[in-house]
Amino acid sequence: MIQTTKTLDWDKYLKTAAQVVSEGIVMLKNEHQALPLKPHEEIALFGRIQFHYYKSGTGSGGMVNVSKVTNIVDGLQESGIKLNQELLDVYHKWDNENPFDLGDGWGKEPWSQKEMPLEDSLAARAAKRCQTAIAVIGRTAGEEQDNSLTEGSFLLSSDEKQMLTTIRRHFSKMIVLLNVGNIIDMNELLEIAPDAILYVWQGGMTGGTGTADVLTGKISPCGKLTDTIAKHVEDYPSAPYFGDPVRNFYSEDIYVGYRYFETFAPDKVLYPFGFGLSYTTFQIKTNDIMELSDKWDFIITVTNTGSCSGKEVVQIYCEAPQGKLGKPVRVLCGYEKTNTLSPGESQTVTISVSKTQTASYDDSGISGHAHCFILEEGDYHFYVGTDVRHAVKTYTCTQNGTLVISSHQQALAPVEAFERIKPVLSTDGYEPQMEPVPLSEVDETKRRLENLPKEIPFTGDRGIRLCDVRKGTHTMEEFIAQMTDYDLACVIRGEGMNSPRVTAGTASAFGGVSQELEALGVPCGCCDDGPSGMRLDCGTKAFSLPNGTMMACTFNRTLLTELFALTGLEMIANKVDCLLGPGMNIHRHPLNGRNFEYFSEDPYLTGTIASAQLHGLHQSGVTGTIKHFCGNNQETNRHDTNGVISERALREIYLKGFEIAVKEGHADSVMTTYGPINGVWTAGSFDLTTQILRNDWGFTGFTMTDWWANINRRGQAVDKSDFAAMAIAQNDVYMVCAIGAENDDNILASLENGTLQRSELQRNAANICRFLMNTQAMARLEGTETKIDIINRPADESDVDESSVKFYELDGNLTINLEDICTDKGTNHSFGLDIKTMGKYRMTLTASSTQSEVAQIPVTLFSLGTAYGTFTWNGTNGLPVSFETDIPLFSKYTNLRLFFAQGGLKMHSITFELISTEL
Ligand code: BGC
């Protein structure tokens, strides 16, 4: 038995994450030397978000329980900055009187908070002591709800505007920090004219530290925009379609973000893709370019020409000839970040640009090479610089004749007619002209039959266990041959959320979800959210990472690999095998609610950043799940709205990042989306999860649906129990069933009536087992798992010990006595429900207090990690007082948690009463 021990140094984890924050911050403006802050000046800090730093967005991409979030106040004070005390006191008082609103349940959190109306006299007094003011504006966003073009979402609220204009009137230097997940409107802000504006994004639990390091000049800003900031939301080419609850035409086609703006509308850009200021300046010099058969190598020297240390990101863009297909005038095809360069110091970097990255997909056959990635003949111009707009033409290379990079079969193409844009040259540059989109000519039934795997004859149990396949003493075929139809039906059922088979509070168990599968030696793998750290719904604390956009803005792959190697160790310590991230959908429109989890409007950047994260996880012996495959570009009606997208846009934009993550990042786990693409829900899309993912890209891992996803067949209505459609598509695991060993789906019936082949299930079972065989879950079964020694992690009394979480059966009515629980300030009480009858329940929470009548003692109830209400008791003279709320309980195993923000309460009981079985 070989067991290794690895060390996770929490201190190093914090420092690496803070470095990511510092490197991900994008400084858009810095006039009158507003930044960096001077060492001994007193700073006037405004905005309630100074205390409530948004560490991430909401939903599965943000629900990490943390011991401490370093907010902006902490960050600045810890780095020695003196803050104006009167302001701090006033904000504290107001914040206590106007508690932070957690909202009311999943997808119903407010995307911003009420801001304190700023009194002119207060600002005036602060301005007497301080020259410089910093204002913090905060936004969150997340699942089930997009951002909107309203105040407090994409736009500033009136209180925020009032605060900012008051500050502007009084201070000679004004800095605005945008603690947001996603870009917001810049017009009003630019009118107020702060001296400095920084997107500080949502930096996880060390956000304040990383931000302070930039503000104080310890680290020079070096983050770059991963999206174009246009003047108006309506300027984004997807604007007419985004948010459609029924059908979303992708008429802008491949012209997403800067591909659109640089080609058709350069004047509509406020800040170009790739842009970000520094405290220093750099000179970029291309020394040499070497053309090889499959790539170009650019040898570039970067010199720090300014007066302080810093890093720079060199970016290379390609302008391919318009040819017959039409092309954007710029496509990012390579980038590299330098090390920290001292003033005068130079570094030479070699950036390889693969020819694949400059290729276009012909989805119509107009080039004579239908369904191929090609380089059309003509001149390829390369631009080198530090953002898309200012990159300068450095090299031109001529392609004689068409070069075919790869040939494919048509897949996932639209079935309904629509038009897309294509550039035509006019006197003032390119104009968009509409052309019809090629439609699908694929016979999907035939394609499935042509791909049918060979059935492995059933042998019954021959005593072969999965570990024998791993050892190489038996083949996977021999192992799978032993599985009964029932085993095959169970192995494709993920179980959750909160399955007692795996770590408490996680999203799913998969693999060995029945006694019989366990007997065959199939381990239960544990999947857990998400892209910004582990979500442990029973309240266990974990490390919260910066959000996806911020990580991508670093343009620093090495740093992200280092960070995710640490996350990998933390996962092993928590027996989590498969992180449900990175999220890598394309920022098609700035109002998408989940943009914060995702990286960029550009697929190359997206794919390479995801690969860097995966490399880190893989180094530590765990993995990530790339999601949501593909086209999850809005939250409004995300379960049903149909993305109508050309095959070219899919292959070049919406699939491209995933392709890179599979080929370069060696992704071995993929999650499909909730919604349909071109009429078929991705949970059951053969073209997506077999033809493209496996046949074209050579993926050998396993795939899963999103949680409780819809499934359909072409032309048919949604039927969530049609697991056969999913299995046929080679989407391997349905996430999630309440109980894996007994589920009401159509697998066995479909085998019986011949609409599903045993061989298809065997193929899927092999995918799952091949994956599991090499996980820590397998090692745990064999007692060879890696042990993690966590050092330098501060003790946290309020952390929940997941092994102590007690489960209660709930079948209509239940009262749990809470008389003995600890209710000290900052503690959590966690328990689980094993729900026999799912539905909407009335929850009654009863407590008493002997504190004063005006005491405020808030208790927040979390269900599956989401707040379902904060109930505030006053003193009750010791008599029991109850609060009620209705709460949906639809997941068989549900973790509930009570969080006590103040002490002084005696809990009595919590009661559940079924009010409706309709959810
Ligand atoms: C999200 C996924 C997530 C899953 C499990 C879904 O709501 O879309 O991204 O991984 O829940 O929590």
More confident residue, 127 or 868: 127
Q: What would the pLDDT profile of 570-583 be if each residue is shown by its tens digit?
A: 999 999 999 999 99
**Does the CB atom of residue 722 touch ligand 1 within 6 A?**
no
d(CA 825, CA 855): 14
Helices and strands, number each (H, E), in the chain: 23, 44
Q: What would the pLDDT profile of 161-170 be if each residue is shown by its tens digit?
A: 999 999 999 9
pLDDT band at 268 (very low <50, low <70, confident <90, very high): very high
The amino acid at 649: A
**Does the CB atom of residue 615 touch ligand 1 within 6 A?**
no
Domains and CATH numbers, the chain: 5-238 (3.40.50.1700), 282-436 (2.60.40.10), 805-916 (2.60.120.260)
User: Which of 526, 529, 710 to mutate to test ligand 1, by most ligand atoms within 8 A of the CB atom?
Assistant: 529
Nearest protein CA to atom 6 of ligand 1, as residue:
707
Nearest protein CA to atom 12 of ligand 1, as residue:
60
> 580 with 633: CB under 8 angstroms?
no
Q: What would the pLDDT profile of 297-315 be if each residue is shown by its tens digit?
A: 999 999 999 999 999 999 9
Nearest protein CA to atom 4 of ligand 1, as residue:
707
User: Which of 497, 627, 706 to mutate to test ligand 1, by most ligand atoms within 8 A of the CB atom?
Assistant: 706
- The CA distances from residue 575 to 112, 503, 568, 781, in Å, are 35, 6, 10, 12
Strands 578-579 and 623-624 turn out to be: parallel
Strand segments (E) across 100-183: 132-138, 173-179
Average pLDDT over residues 242-265: 97
User: Which of 707, 735, 736, 890 to mutate to test ligand 1, by most ligand atoms within 8 A of the CB atom?
Assistant: 707
**Does the CB atom of residue 584 touch ligand 1 within 6 A?**
no
**Does the CB atom of residue 507 touch ligand 1 within 6 A?**
yes
pLDDT exceeds 70 at position 751: yes
At residue 423, the 3 state secondary structure works out as: strand
Percent of residues, the chain, with pLDDT higher than 70: 100
**Does the CB atom of residue 528 touch ligand 1 within 6 A?**
no
Task: Write the Ramachandran bin of 181: left for phi over 0, alpha for psi from -120 to 50, otherwise beta.
Answer: alpha
Question: What is the distance in A from the centroid of ligand 1 to the CA of 532?
Answer: 13
- Which ligand 1 atom sits closest to the C-alpha of 597? 9
Residue 809: per-residue pLDDT: 95
Nearest protein CA to atom 9 of ligand 1, as residue:
60
Question: What is the distance in A from the centroid of ligand 1 to the CA of 707?
Answer: 6
Strands 378-385 and 313-319 turn out to be: antiparallel
Identify the sign of the CA torsion 763, 584, 52, 75: positive
User: Is 706 assigned a catalytic role?
Assistant: yes
**Does the CB atom of residue 651 touch ligand 1 within 6 A?**
no
Question: What is the distance in A from the centroid of ligand 1 to the CA of 220?
Answer: 36
> 727 with 734: CB under 8 angstroms?
no
The amino acid at 775: T
Q: pTM (2 decimals)?
A: 0.94
**Does the CB atom of residue 864 touch ligand 1 within 6 A?**
no
> 297 with 337: CB under 8 angstroms?
no
Average pLDDT over residues 813-839: 91
d(CA 81, CA 38): 9
Question: What is the distance in A from the centroid of ligand 1 to the CA of 648?
Answer: 28
Question: What is the distance in A from the centroid of ligand 1 to the CA of 528?
Answer: 9
At residue 385, the 3 state secondary structure works out as: strand
Question: What is the distance in A from the centroid of ligand 1 to the CA of 60?
Answer: 5
Nearest protein CA to atom 3 of ligand 1, as residue:
60
Residue 800: per-residue pLDDT: 77
- The CA distances from residue 267 to 29, 328, 332, in Å, are 19, 16, 20
Cα separation of the two ends of the chain:
49
pLDDT exceeds 80 at position 605: yes
Q: Mind giving me the DSSP string for 579-640? A: E---B-----STT-TTGGGS--S-HHHHHHHHHHHHHHHHHHT-EE-EEEETT----TTTTT
The amino acid at 213: D
Question: What is the distance in A from the centroid of ligand 1 to the CA of 536?
Answer: 13
Nearest to 548 by CA among 525, 532, 572: 532
User: Which of 58, 60, 705 to mutate to test ligand 1, by most ligand atoms within 8 A of the CB atom?
Assistant: 60
Question: In b/e form, how buried is each residue of 388-404, taking b as 16+ CB within 10 angstroms?
Answer: bbebeebbeeebeebbe
Q: What would the pLDDT profile of 827-876 be if each residue is shown by its tens digit?
A: 889 999 999 999 999 999 999 999 877 777 888 888 888 888 778 888 89
pLDDT exceeds 60 at position 55: yes
d(CA 266, CA 736): 46
CA 310 from chain center: how many Å? Answer: 28
Average pLDDT over residues 326-353: 98
Nearest protein CA to atom 8 of ligand 1, as residue:
706
Instruction: Report which DSSP code applies to 788.
Output: E
- The CA distances from residue 361 to 425, 653, 814, in Å, are 21, 10, 59
**Does the CB atom of residue 627 touch ligand 1 within 6 A?**
yes
Instruction: Report which DSSP code applies to 38.
Output: P
d(CA 590, CA 601): 9
**Does the CB atom of residue 638 touch ligand 1 within 6 A?**
no
**Does the CB atom of residue 760 touch ligand 1 within 6 A?**
no
Strands 132-138 and 42-46 turn out to be: parallel
Residue 538: per-residue pLDDT: 84
- Which ligand 1 atom sits closest to the C-alpha of 625? 10
Question: What is the distance in A from the centroid of ligand 1 to the CA of 423?
Answer: 38
> 414 with 249: CB under 8 angstroms?
no
Mean pLDDT of the chain: 95
At residue 658, the 3 state secondary structure works out as: helix
Residues 6+ apart with CB under 8 A from 277: 27, 28, 29, 30, 221
**Does the CB atom of residue 707 touch ligand 1 within 6 A?**
yes
d(CA 779, CA 620): 14
Q: What would the pLDDT profile of 472-499 be if each residue is shown by its tens digit?
A: 999 999 999 999 999 999 999 999 888 9
At residue 177, the 3 state secondary structure works out as: strand
Instruction: Report which DSSP code applies to 820.
Output: T
**Does the CB atom of residue 537 touch ligand 1 within 6 A?**
no
Question: Within a 13 Å sphere around the CA of 787, how many CA atoms are in the beta-carbon half?
Answer: 8
The 3-state secondary structure of 443-466 reads CHHHHHHHCCCCCCCCCCCCCCCH
d(CA 140, CA 61): 11
The amino acid at 78: E
User: Which of 532, 580, 737 to mutate to test ligand 1, by most ligand atoms within 8 A of the CB atom?
Assistant: 580
159-173, 221-235, 263-277, 854-868: the lowest-pLDDT one: 854-868
Q: Mind giving me the DSSP string for 307-364? A: SS-B--EEEEEEE---TTT---S-EEEEEEE---B-TT-EEEEEEEEEGGGG-EEESS
Nearest to 91 by CA among 57, 69, 119: 119
**Does the CB atom of residue 255 touch ligand 1 within 6 A?**
no
- Which ligand 1 atom sits closest to the C-alpha of 530? 10
Q: What would the pLDDT profile of 394-441 be if each residue is shown by its tens digit?
A: 999 999 999 999 999 999 999 999 999 999 999 989 999 999 999 999
- Supply φ then ψ for residue 750, to 5 degrees: -70, -35
Residues present in the chain in total: 919
**Does the CB atom of residue 706 touch ligand 1 within 6 A?**
yes
Residue 919: per-residue pLDDT: 67
- Which ligand 1 atom sits closest to the C-alpha of 583? 9
Residue 103: per-residue pLDDT: 79
d(CA 172, CA 127): 9
- Which ligand 1 atom sits closest to the C-alpha of 632? 8
> 266 with 392: CB under 8 angstroms?
no
Question: What is the distance in A from the centroid of ligand 1 to the CA of 275?
Answer: 32
Strands 626-629 and 578-579 turn out to be: unpaired
- Which ligand 1 atom sits closest to the C-alpha of 529? 10
**Ranges of H-type helices in 460-599:** 466-471, 476-480, 485-491, 515-519, 548-553, 557-573
Question: What is the distance in A from the centroid of ligand 1 to the CA of 812?
Answer: 28
**Does the CB atom of residue 598 touch ligand 1 within 6 A?**
no
**Does the CB atom of residue 727 touch ligand 1 within 6 A?**
no
Instruction: Report which DSSP code applies to 155.
Output: B
At residue 573, the 3 state secondary structure works out as: helix
Q: Which residue has the tokens 């799940």?
A: 625
Active-site choice (213, 537, 602, 706): 706
Strand segments (E) across 355-442: 360-362, 372-375, 378-385, 392-399, 403-407, 419-426, 429-436
- Supply φ then ψ for residue 550, to 5 degrees: -65, -40
Question: What is the distance in A from the centroid of ligand 1 to the CA of 269?
Answer: 34
Average pLDDT over residues 575-598: 98
Q: Which residue has the tokens 């770059």?
A: 224
**Does the CB atom of residue 580 touch ligand 1 within 6 A?**
yes
12: exposed, middle or buried (Cβ count in 10 Å: 0-12, 13-18, 19+): middle
- Which ligand 1 atom sits closest to the C-alpha of 628? 9
Question: What is the distance in A from the centroid of ligand 1 to the CA of 83?
Answer: 40
- The CA distances from residue 138 to 146, 365, 600, 741, 918, in Å, are 16, 48, 20, 45, 36
Residue 1: per-residue pLDDT: 55
At residue 233, the 3 state secondary structure works out as: helix
Question: What is the distance in A from the centroid of ligand 1 to the CA of 822?
Answer: 32
d(CA 168, CA 159): 14
The 3-state secondary structure of 827-861 reads EEEEEEEEECCCEEEEEEEEEECCCCCCCCEEEEE
Please name the helix (run of DSSP H) or strand (run of DSSP E) that holds residue 17, with its range, or none: helix 10-24
Average pLDDT over residues 768-790: 96
Question: What is the distance in A from the centroid of ligand 1 to the CA of 784?
Answer: 30
Average pLDDT over residues 303-330: 98
d(CA 406, CA 282): 38
Instruction: Report which DSSP code applies to 158.
Output: H
pLDDT band at 237 (very low <50, low <70, confident <90, very high): very high
Nearest protein CA to atom 11 of ligand 1, as residue:
707
366: exposed, middle or buried (Cβ count in 10 Å: 0-12, 13-18, 19+): middle
**Does the CB atom of residue 529 touch ligand 1 within 6 A?**
yes
- Supply φ then ψ for residue 315, to 5 degrees: -125, 140
Residue 106: per-residue pLDDT: 73
